Amino acid sequence: MPPPGAAWQGVRIALMEAFNWYEKHVNPGLAGLLRFTGLDKVESHAEGVYVWDTEGRRYLDFLGLYGTLSLGHRHPRVLEAVRAQLDRMPMSVRVMVSEPTARLAHRLAEITPGDLSMVFFGNSGAEAVEAALKFARIHTKRPGFITTKNGYHGKTYGALSVTPKEHYQLPAAPLVPGVTVVPFGDARALEAAIGPDTAAVIVEPIQGEGGIRVPPEGYLREVRRITREKGVLLIVDEVQTGLGRTGKLWGVDWEGVEPDILTSAKALGGGVMPISATIVRPEIFEVYKHEPLIHSTTFGGNPLAAAAALAAIEVTLEQNLPARALEMGQYLMASLKQLWDAYPEFIEEVRGRGLMVGLEFTDADIGALVVAELASRGILTAFGLNNPKVVRLEPPLIVEKEHIDQAIEALGESLAATKVALEGVL
């Protein structure tokens, strides 16, 4: 903190007003929700697995920006790479080739499954999905898509169209036509839904916002077989599962699946810069030979973001963070299952893979109370957007057992406090 003085007093006043400004000018509904969960605070700074608010309180981050912070906050290697690029050239002029962007595309081609080797860079997961849908239609010359119930792919128009939640879709209807919804994990239903107008199937290896839903073993392999036989593209949304979170570098690696299109974002930027990538097989990019500007973006894959992603990839591989996610995830799941045994009236299921873990409660209101109790004990979590009964636990992959123990202790206390509160009401 800077020393006291007139300038610092002005900063303090601004910090005190920040929540009110957010509520007034940004999102009043979300501000109200933050108040309910006891997080009507203003973030100050962060390091590793911890976040501090402007009042000096420290929080253990077990949300990790919805799976973004695989390396934790402010990883030094990523910061160093971004600073070095900032001193050279922050933004590309776009009429010459950016070396970091080209190098990142080459690196992604090396580490993604099969012959995925052509890359379109964007800024967010939704942008990556938009590109994937557009490329699929252009390549197949067909309009239709198949998505899964409770799947989540973003909230821009195309991405929202394959995110089948009426709560988000209806206010913006009509959306992109030609979308069919099938149950997640049911390969037979997916096969039956494929028709002559189907361009692609889009699926998550594990549903994130849908409540950390892990499909039956062999499901992705079967979907790959079906789509190949039917001549339909397979888009795998790895925005949340990619780069180590599930215990493998990519979620599809668990079943050795090679998709036609893979989308990546969140962890790709090392927790420092926003960046997304839509990685495809070469023939899907044939259109670029004739129409090189058919799909483009000003900021996607900019030099700063590319530098961050390159550093993040190397740290992830050098430190074998996927294996660490698997080990720490097993430890976390075992501890959670003990609490499940202790509170069966509250906890319906514990599930997940690696450090992508969901705690499903018997009622969404109980989950909300537990999230608020955890916040009061300095643990940051959140529920799934498509399944508010599920509290998601996605700490950085650098998390230690002592951090997990701290979170589990706080969760036990939170469950006990929730039980007392509900008994008082009933």
- CA angle (125 as vertex; 119, 131 as ends), nearest 5: 50
Query: How many CB atoms neighbour CB 363 within 10 A?
Result: 13
8 Å CB contact between 275 and 75? no
Rounded percentage of the chain residues whose pLDDT exceeds 90:
80
In terms of Cβ atoms closer than 10 Å to its own Cβ (0-12, 13-18, 19+), residue 412 is: middle
| Mean pLDDT, the chain, whole residue set | 93
CA distance 69 to 397: 8
One-letter identity of residue 296: S
Residue predicted with more confidence, 13 or 33: 33
Show the tokens assigned to 307.
Answer: 């530098």
The lowest-confidence range among 105-114, 178-187, 287-296, 335-344 is 287-296
Show the tokens assigned to 109.
Answer: 């081609």
CA distance 270 to 292: 29
**174 preceded by a cis bond (ω within 30 of 0):** yes
The string of pLDDT tens digits covering residues 365-383 is 898 899 999 999 999 998 8
Structure letter (DSSP) for residue 392: E
β-bridge partners, 236: 203, 262
Structure letter (DSSP) for residue 3: P
Backbone φ, ψ for residue 37 (5° rounding): -85, 5
The lowest-confidence range among 178-182, 212-216, 363-367 is 363-367
Q: Is the pLDDT of residue 4 over 50?
A: no
8 Å CB contact between 322 and 115? no
Residue 384: predicted pLDDT: 78
8 Å CB contact between 350 and 359? yes
Residue predicted with more confidence, 40 or 73: 73
Give first-to-last CA distance, the chain, whole Å.
Answer: 46
Instruction: Output the 3-class SS for 187-210.
Output: HHHHHHHCCCCEEEEEECCCECCC
8 Å CB contact between 243 and 267? yes
Rounded percentage of the chain residues whose pLDDT exceeds 70:
96
The lowest-confidence range among 15-24, 143-152, 268-277, 296-305 is 15-24
Structure letter (DSSP) for residue 155: S
Query: How many CB atoms neighbour CB 321 within 10 A?
Result: 26
Q: Is the pLDDT of residue 6 over 60?
A: no
The string of pLDDT tens digits covering residues 404-420 is 999 999 999 999 999 98
CA distance 104 to 343: 47
Place of tokens 């933004």: 91
CA distance 108 to 242: 12
The string of pLDDT tens digits covering residues 331-364 is 999 999 999 999 999 999 999 999 999 999 999 9
pLDDT band at residue 43 under the 50/70/90 scheme: confident
Q: Is the pLDDT of residue 318 over 80?
A: yes
Query: How many CB atoms neighbour CB 402 within 10 A?
Result: 8
Residue 137: predicted pLDDT: 97
DSSP state letters, 301-339: T-HHHHHHHHHHHHHHHHTTHHHHHHHHHHHHHHHHHHH
What is the rounded average pLDDT of the residues 281-292? Answer: 91
Q: Is the pLDDT of residue 16 over 70?
A: no
CA distance 368 to 365: 5
pLDDT band at residue 13 under the 50/70/90 scheme: low
Q: What are the structural domains of the chain?
A: 19-73+320-425 (3.90.1150.10), 76-318 (3.40.640.10)
pLDDT band at residue 1 under the 50/70/90 scheme: very low
Residue 15: predicted pLDDT: 63
Residue 37: predicted pLDDT: 75
Give the H/E segment covering residue 386: none
The string of pLDDT tens digits covering residues 186-204 is 999 999 999 999 999 999 9
Among candidate residues 48, 68, 71, the one with its CA nearest the CA of residue 58: 48
- CA angle (59 as vertex; 57, 64 as ends), nearest 5: 145
What is the rounded average pLDDT of the residues 3-28? Answer: 68
pLDDT band at residue 3 under the 50/70/90 scheme: very low
Query: How many CB atoms neighbour CB 100 within 10 A?
Result: 22
Residue 425: predicted pLDDT: 62
Q: Is the pLDDT of residue 88 over 60?
A: yes
Place of tokens 């894959």: 301
CA distance 207 to 227: 20
pLDDT band at residue 95 under the 50/70/90 scheme: confident
Residue 34: predicted pLDDT: 82
Place of tokens 């339909």: 232
Task: Show Cβ contacts of residue 368 under 8 Å, excluding neighbours closer than 6 positions.
Answer: 36, 37, 383, 388
One-letter identity of residue 392: R
